[in-house]
Each structure stands twice: as structure tokens, then as C-alpha cells.
Chains A and B, each alone.
Chain A
Amino acid sequence: MQETHKVYRQKLEELNNLQDACSSSIRKQKRKLKDLKYSLQRCKYTSSPEECDLIQQINIQIKERQNVFFDMEAYLPKRNGLYLNLVLGNVNVTLLSNQAKFAYKDEYEKFKLYLTIILLLGAVACRFILHYRVTDEVFNFLLVWYYCTLTIRESILISNGSRIKGWWVSHHYVSTFLSGVMLTWPDGLMYQMFRNQFLAFSIFQSCVQFLQYYYQSGCLYRLRALGKRNHLDLTVEGFQSWMWRGLTFLLPFLFFGHFWQLYNAITLFGLSRHKECKEWQVFVLALTFLLLFLGNFLTTLKVVHTKLQKNKDEMKKL
């Protein structure tokens, strides 16, 4: 067996060399493509219509090549982004086979589902059974940990080729900040006035997230089997373009949740103007809830708008 191990170590070295070779050649080609694009753009102003067509064709080919590189890079070890570097260091988190990537994505979605159920139970217990600041703290710590872990796992997924849109990642950072500030809010008159509303909101949000993940997984599975979506598309907390096929019933729930966030923000703004309010947390939380509302609402609205435009275009054609 030790000979097998020696052979293994040899192959490992060969693989490392190949990885380095592939990475450097991809980098060189990417740079050449960038230069090419730049010079083509400069030529655009001084070219005839036929040349313009040619340039457009070349641009399309460049885009295809870039996609090919993106896919290839998903299998090569990559340097971690800033966040992952801070938390994990320079350990390589690229999963090197399609199976492994898919298994990781699957596990991420299961993790979200289970934690959402646990958070739902925790919020219900805090709202109706236990009325202590201590249990609220435990719930808040769990929220902070949940969102932090989500941000770590999503960074790993993005390193591995998942295309997650900007807002859905930043909104986890904002939620972490929100839960952290809730954590430091001392018990008092203001806190007691907001607590029940916050816990009820958490219960609703956990319910909606659970519905989302549960139905989204099924929908994604169906669409992947039909070959219409990329393997690494994820369940998210918002509404995305592919969800029109069967998940439209979720939209009213989502919008209701967004407006509840707005209501939280307004309540907190009102509380911060109360004469007995001396905690800074109230105002900061109000701003954060407002930010979440704006981000979620506008992103979802954009998806609806895109769909309505598409419907109009199709109607015009018919």
C-alpha cells in the first residue's frame, strides 16, 4: 500500500504543476482578450458598417471565450476573496468536481431549511412561552451566527462558480449587523415596546423563508431536469426570474414581509422620538430595517417589472 501512496504523491505533484500551468495560461489569455477588446472599442469610432459587424461578431466570440474561462476556472484552485481570507486564511475552497459542487450546494440548502425551522421554533418560544431578556439574547446570538455562517458558505459557493446576485449577499451582512445591534439593546421600556413586534416579524419571516426554500428546491429540481437552469443556481430569499413558473403565489407573502420591515422601521423611528428613549440602538435599527426594506422591495419590483415588460413585448409580437 505504501507504493500506492508514493504513486499518489507523485500524481498529486503532477496535478499541482498542471494546475499552475492551466491557471497561468488562462490568465495570459484573459489579459490578451482584454487588450483585444480595448483596441476593438477604440477602432469602433473609425470603422465602416461592415467592419462594425465584424467587430460585433468578434465581441460575441470574446464573450463566449470568457464564459469558457469562467467554467474552467471553477475547477482550478482560486485565491479566496477578502472575506474568506480574513475568516479562513488561504486554504483552498474550490471543490474540484461537479458532483462535489452539487453536493455542497445541496447541503447549503438543507442547512438553510433546518436552521429556518429552528429559528421559527425559537421565535415562537420567545414570543409566547419565555419572556426573558436572556432567551431573547440566545435567539439573537443564533440569528447572528446563522447569518454569519450563511455569508461564509455563500462566499465559498461564489468561489465555486455560483452566480448569486449582489443584493442577496449584502442583505445577509445587513441582517447580521441588525441582529448584532438587537443583541446589545438593554432591557428597558423601549425594548419591551418593540420586542413583541420584532418576534412576531421573525416568526412570519421564518415561515415565509421556509415556504420559499421548500418550494424553490422543488421548482429548481424540475427546471434543472428540463435543462433550463444552471446546476449551481440556488434557493434565495427573494424572487427571481425563473420563479414565475409555479412560484408566483409566493409574491404577495414576500411583499407583505417587505412592508412589515417598513412598518418596523417606522415604529422604531417613532420610538426614537419618544421622550423616554435614550438608547442609540433604536435609531440605528430603524435605519437598518429601512435599508432592508428598500433593498428587498426594489429588487423584487425589478423582477416584476422585467416580467411585465416581457409580457408586453410578447403581446406586441402576437
Chain B
Amino acid sequence: QETHKLYKQKLEELTKLQDGISSSIARQKKQLKELSLAFKNCKSTTTAEQEESIREIEGLIKERQSVFFEMEAYLPKKNGLYLSLVLGNVNVTLLSKQAKFAYKDEYEKFKLYLTIILLIISSSCRFLFNSRVTDAVFNFLLVWYYCTLTIRESILITNGSRIKGWWVFHHYVSTFLSGVMLTWPDGLMYQKFRNQFLSFSMYQSFVQFLQYYYQSGCLYRLRTLGERHNMDLTVEGFQSWMWRGLTFLLPFLFFGQFLQLYNAITLFQLARHPQCKEWQVLMCGLPFFVLFVGNFFTTLRVVHQKFQCQNREAKAK
């Protein structure tokens, strides 16, 4: 029990230190912001030497900001809006590098296992069971899967992972899509689209499985080489580091994205069918279209950047 008292004492000391550091970081950040703003104002009325020194100082400011970013990853932080709504104000900052890494590892395992489960269920819905009930169970699982992903990704972002905007947003869109599919009543329109949707889900789960499996291996290799940040994650898209060994995934990804476009077109056509009276058709068509546009253009941008890089290297030689 004495150990416990000692523990509680240290806990209090630590909490005080945390508050102290958080407030001093907040103060310094504010000062840096004011400084940046002041520089911007001055920029229009400066000489060449002054511009150089300003640029140097801005470089230093950026360094300082990344130092702060790293420091903050170890301090308790307030949750964003989404996490506050779902979890409340419990602190989700993992306070050691090991814990962060273990959490990230578990997130990736979760995605892998759930993708396999979704693949199995969508194939059984497509080929074995033909009832709306099992489809509803599959859709509920999809909704739950994407919701859980959004929660876990918010926790990862709070802990310092740099996940790009579209990849997080696209989980929200997928949740919405699955939710609308859930409410679509059984009928002529539903039966016309069902098989296409299930086949698409099977293909998507399969490609995601490939992605996560190969990405983990690739990331592990790159991390040991020291070329990527520890908190980089496996994602559903193509990122710049994937050129080193995962280029074979690109055609699969593009094919999946065009399947999404095809789904959207099919749904838009079904919406114009004389017997179509369900609002879900149009409301499923739009998310599929948004997903296609977002996925396609984000992936295209990565390809474009790579070509630009290669062009520059060819010119440099």
C-alpha cells in the first residue's frame, strides 16, 4: 500500500507537469503565430537581405512547430468533435512510443481480419443466401465496421498519425452509403442492383485484403530502413511510398474505382426507371459517384507526382 501511495503522489506530480508543459507550449505556439503574422505583414516592405533572414526564421519556426507536434503527441490532448461526441472527454493519448505502435499494429490487424470476414459474408450472400435478412446483416456489419474505423482513426490522429483528409472522409461516406443500402426495401429495383453490389463488395474486400497484407510488409521494410515515420498506416489508396514494390496494386485499384463509377451509373439509370419509387436509389448513386471521384483523383495525383519526379530526375541527369 505504500507503493500505491507513492504511485498516487507521482501521478499528481505528473499531472501538474503535464498541465505546465501544455500551457507553455500553448503560449509559445501563440507567440510563433503572431511572429509569422508579423513577418507576412512586413514582407511587402523589405529588402533582399531582410527577405533572406525572414525565410531563415520561417524555416526555424517550422522546425519548432514540428518539435511541438512531437511533444504534444505525449501530452494529454482534448478530443476532437467526433471523439467527444462518442467517447466524451476521456483522454485517448497513448503515452509511450511502444503503446502507440502497439495500437497502430492492432488497428491494422483489425482491418485485415474484418476485411476477411466481410469477404466471406459477401460471397455467402451472393452465392448461398438470397434473403433480404442476410443482406441486412451484411449491411449492418459494414456500417459498424466503417464507424469503428472512423473512431479508431480519430484516436490515431490524436496520437500523431498523419492520415490524409480524403482517406478519413471516405470512411464517413462509406458509412452513409451502407446505411442507405440498409434501408432500401426489397423490391424490383433492389433485386436488380443486389448482385452487382455484392460482387462489387467481394472485389473490394479482396483488393483491400491484398493492400493491407502487402502494405504492412512494405511499411515494415521501409521503417527498418528508416525511410518512413513510425506512425504511417496502411490505407485504402495509393500513397507515395508504395511505388517501391506495390506498383502491381495500381491496376486493381483503378479497376475498383471504375466499378464504383459503374455502380453509380447503374443506379442513376435505375432511378429513371418507370417503376422506381425508392429514394434510396438516387441516394446510393450519389455516394458511389463521390467515392469514385475522390478515390480516382487522389490516386491520379499520386501517379502524376511520381511522373513529375521522374521527369525532374531525367532532366537532372
Interface residues of A (CB under 8 A from B): 1, 4-5, 7-9, 11-16, 18-19, 21-22, 25, 68, 72, 75-76, 86-93, 95-97, 100, 103-104, 107-108, 111, 134, 137, 141, 148-149, 152-153, 156, 180, 183-184, 186-187, 280
Contact = CB atoms under 8 A, between A and B. Distances in A.
Contacts of A180: 140
Given A104-B88, A183-B182, A183-B183, 19 more contacts: A9-B74, A11-B17, A14-B10, A15-B10, A18-B3, A18-B6, A18-B10, A72-B4, A75-B11, A87-B151, A88-B155, A89-B106, A91-B92, A93-B90, A111-B88, A134-B279, A149-B85, A153-B87, A184-B136
A89 B96 contact: no
Which of B1, B25, B95, B152 is packed against the most chain A CB atoms within 10 Å?
B95
Nearest to A93: B90
A42 B222 CA distance: 60
Contacts of A103: 89
B186 A186 contact: yes
B82 to A, nearest CB: 11
Interface string B141-169: 00000011001100100000000000000
A283 B25 CA distance: 59
A87 B11 contact: no
Nearest to A111: B88
Contacts of A95: 90-91
Contacts of B20: 4
Most chain A CB within 10 A, of B6, B21, B186, is at B21
Given A5-B71, A183-B183, A186-B186, A91 B14 contact: no
B237 interface: no
B24 A1 contact: yes
Given A11-B14, A19-B7, A91-B103, A152 B21 contact: no
Interface of B is mostly: helix
Interface in B157-201: 179, 182-183, 185-186
Given A11-B13, A96-B11, A104 B90 contact: yes
Of B10, B24, B147, B148, chain A has the most CB atoms within 10 Å of the CB of B10
Contacts of B21: 1, 4-5, 8
A243 B307 CA distance: 71
B83 to A, nearest CB: 10
A137 B90 CA distance: 31
B86 interface: yes
A186 to B, nearest CB: 3
Given A11-B17, A156-B87, A280-B133, A97 B11 contact: yes
Most B C-beta atoms less than 10 A away, residue of A21, A152, A183: A183
Q: Find the residue from A16, A104, A186 having the highest chain B CB count within 10 A.
A: A186
B92 A93 contact: yes
Nearest to B109: A89
B269 interface: no
6 contacts: A92-B99, A108-B88, A153-B87, A153-B88, A156-B90, A184-B183
Contacts of A22: 3-4, 7
Contacts of B10: 11, 14-15, 18
B18 interface: yes
A90 B90 contact: no
A88 B102 CA distance: 13
Contacts of A4: 17, 20-21, 24
B271 to A, nearest CB: 15
Counting chain B CB atoms within 10 Å of each CB, the highest count among A12, A86, A153 belongs to: A12
B137 to A, nearest CB: 10
Contacts of B99: 92
B15 interface: yes
A4 to B, nearest CB: 6
Interface in B86-139: 86-92, 94-96, 99, 102-103, 106-107, 110, 132-133, 136
A12 B140 CA distance: 41
B306 interface: no
Contacts of B186: 186
What 10 pairs across the A-B complex have the smallest Cβ distances?
A186-B185, A18-B7, A8-B17, A184-B136, A107-B88, A89-B106, A137-B183, A91-B92, A93-B90, A15-B10
B3 A86 contact: no
A1 B29 CA distance: 13
A95 B182 CA distance: 37
A16 B132 CA distance: 51
B96 A16 contact: yes
B94 A91 contact: yes
A156 B87 CA distance: 8
A9 B97 CA distance: 11
Contacts of A92: 94, 99
Contacts of B11: 15, 75, 96-97
A107 B238 CA distance: 40
B228 interface: no
Contacts of A148: 147
A153 B87 CA distance: 6
Contacts of B88: 104, 107-108, 111, 153, 156
Nearest to B6: A18
B136 to A, nearest CB: 5
